[in-house]
Amino acid sequence: MSARSSLSYDGIRLLLISSFLFLLELVCQLGWVQSQVMVPPTVMVHTLWKLLHSDAMVADIAVTFGAAFQALVIAVVLGMVLGWLMHRWSRLRDVVYPVMSSWYSIPVFALYPMLIAFMGLNQRPVIAIGVLMAFAAMALNTLRGLQSIPTVLNKSARIMGVSHFSFLLRVQLPAILPSLMTGFKMAATYAFIGVIMAEFILSPRGLGHAISFAYNDFDTRTMYALMLLVILVSASVQWVLIQIERRVLAHRATLGSV
Amino acid sequence: MRIYIDRLLAVLLVLGLWNFLSLSYGSDAVAAPMATWQRLVMLISTGFIGPHLNFTLSSWIVSVLLAGVVGLSIGLLLGLHRASGLVFEPLIIAVSSLPKVTLYPMVLLICGLGQSSKIAFGFIHGVLPIMLFTLGAAREIPLHYVKTARTLGLNRVATLRRVMLPAMASGIVSGMRLGASLALLGVIIGEMFGAQQGLGFLLMNAIDINDTAQMAAVALILIFLALALNALVRLLIYMVDRHALRSFTQLFAS
């Protein structure tokens, strides 16, 4: 029953999106908005199709994805280590936790110019901004997971004489998997946002740079085509992450029931 | 006591690291903490920062108010009407996970280069979390609250004001806090492009003329401003929350 109703909600959503696109198309084609302000969706798709055939654009896209991926990996590792350290060492937690919990409000991109100044105008400061945007969510969720492990797990592991390392790997890690997944999802979103933003502000390459270049060049078609690309990519990344989460958690549930 | 010593040590560590970076890369790359401090004092004491701060704060306040009104009302409607909530929630989540800076050129084209584009961009950042949190809070109101209110003979408006809103208070509060912070980020990012005023403009200007002391000083101001506003919003919300909780308990105690 729930599958059917969720299917119909998907249908309504699809209908809404397509009628919105149709309206946009209509408004643009009728000339109610100027072509410098908005271009019809069909033109966006057509321009995007052409752009995807140019090597320069594909290279830009690859640069952005490479940077976002590296930022994500670094942020996840850094966040997990920091979260674990905060869990183990309450003095560190007392100092760092307040900063982490209001980290989202800190404009980290304000540090971007300084990062460029000492890392150079290349991909490294871009990746650094992605890491800075993403690591706090990972650290907070790791800590949250570790703090909420039931004491009974810790105690029974100790009674069974589990070694330190295998306690970390076989008790703590599976127990905090849902929290890690939440953190990972947030970190992936933030890393992507950070990388695109850094490229948009100042960078010689990448998708963000291409959009800002098109804007400054009054190339509205390219600009909207690239925005469409970012929207599509962002939505599909979200979708993939939700699927991964579902898989991971389903796997965990079967393990737990054994 | 020890926690204050630890915090002091952490601040000293950051300052030391910063100074080390500045010494090893030169002041053309990273301004030293002392130079930044002097520039900060100069920016404030000459009153140079005043109009820029004013511009940023006024854009922020307007965008938070707009985002609050729109986000709360749409979130409430979507939360109370289950089907539309289920249809729209994934769409709102998808939009809020977008790198919104890529949409900024569109905002500039529609709203022009003036202050309205900064307000609009702050609004876009702020409204989505408020909407999502309100939606979630409205959906999770226990059914028996509403039923009890009906049994007690409360009309719709009174139910909304006396039961539902207080029951949703903590969700709304989290949404407003996040929304207010993100709106500030949106306003600052907006000022970095196509602006003649504001803290974001000052930062971008410092990048253009490679004035590292100004970059560091403005970055510091931005970070402190964000933390101070976050604390202020937290305080406001704490007061409102306590008030809401009181009226709520009063109602059910009577």
B143-152 pLDDT, tens digit per residue, is 888 888 888 8
Number of domains in chain A: 2
Kindly report the nearest CA distance between residue A27 and chain B, in angstroms.
15
Do residue A25 and residue A44 come from a single domain? Answer: no
Delimit the domains of chain B by residue range: 1-27, 31-253
Q: Containing domain of residue A222, as a range?
A: 36-257
Q: Higher-confidence residue: B246 or B35?
A: B35
Do residue A170 and residue A148 come from a single domain? Answer: yes
Do residue A156 and residue A102 come from a single domain? Answer: yes
Do residue A18 and residue A46 come from a single domain? Answer: no
What is the tens place of the pLDDT at every residue in B69-82?
Answer: 999 999 988 888 88
Q: Is pLDDT of A258 > 50? A: no
User: For the ranges A14-28, B1-15, B22-36, which has the lowest average pLDDT?
Assistant: B22-36
What is the tens place of the pLDDT at every residue in A229-248?
Answer: 888 888 888 888 888 888 87
Q: What percent of chain B has pLDDT over 90?
A: 15
Kindly report the nearest CA distance between residue B15 and chain A, in angstroms.
15
Residue A6's pLDDT is what?
61
What's the topology of domain B31-253?
Answer: MetI-like fold (1.10.3720)
Do residue A201 and residue A138 come from a single domain? Answer: yes
Confidence of residue B120 (pLDDT cuts 50, 70, 90): very high
Cβ distance B44 to B218 under 8 Å?
A: no
Both structure tokens of B165: 């809103």
> At A122, which CATH number?
1.10.3720.10
Residue B251's pLDDT is what?
60
Does B189 touch chain A if contact means CB atoms closer than 8 Å? yes
Do residue A78 and residue A129 come from a single domain? Answer: yes
DSSP states of A201-228 as a string?
A: HS-SSSHHHHHHHHHHTT-HHHHHHHHH
Residue B246's pLDDT is what?
67
Quote the crossing angle between the two packed helices B115-139 and B82-96, to the nearest 10°. 140
For residue A48, the number of C-alpha atoms closer than 13 Å in the C-beta half-sphere is: 21
Mean pLDDT of chain B: 84
ipTM of the complex: 0.79
What is the average pLDDT across B39-50?
Answer: 85
B108 vs A contacts (CB less than 8 Å): 215
| Count of pairs with CB atoms under 8 A, one residue in A, one in B | 131
Q: Is pLDDT of A67 > 80? A: yes
Element (H, E) at A199: helix A177-201
Residue A256's pLDDT is what?
45
Residue B64's pLDDT is what?
93
Against a cut of 0.90, is the pTM above it?
no
Confidence of residue B245 (pLDDT cuts 50, 70, 90): low
> Residue B238 corresponds to which amino acid?
Y
Confidence of residue A135 (pLDDT cuts 50, 70, 90): very high
| Of A6, A9, A110, Cβ closest to residue B219 | A110
Do residue A126 and residue A13 come from a single domain? Answer: no
Do residue A40 and residue A26 come from a single domain? Answer: no
Do residue A5 and residue A48 come from a single domain? Answer: no
DSSP states of A89-133 as a string?
A: -HHHHHHHHHHHHTGGGS-GGGGHHHHHHHH-SSHHHHHHHHHHH
Residue (of B69, B72, B71, B250) closest to B163 by Cα position: B250
DSSP states of chain B as a string?
A: -HHHHHHHHHHHHHHHHHHHHHHHH-TTTS--HHHHHHHHHHHHHTT-HHHHHHHHHHHHHHHHHHHHHHHHHHHHHHHHSHHHHHHHHHHHHHHHTS-GGGGHHHHHHHH-SSHHHHHHHHHHHHHHHHHHHHHHHHHTS-HHHHHHHHHTT--HHHIIIIIIHHHHHHHHHHHHHHHHHHHHHHHHHHHHSS-SSSHHHHHHHHHHTT-HHHHHHHHHHHHHHHHHHHHHHHHHHHHHHHHHHHHHHHHHH-
Do residue A17 and residue A100 come from a single domain? Answer: no
Do residue A106 and residue A193 come from a single domain? Answer: yes
Does B215 touch chain A if contact means CB atoms closer than 8 Å? yes
Residue A5's pLDDT is what?
59
Do residue A27 and residue A137 come from a single domain? Answer: no
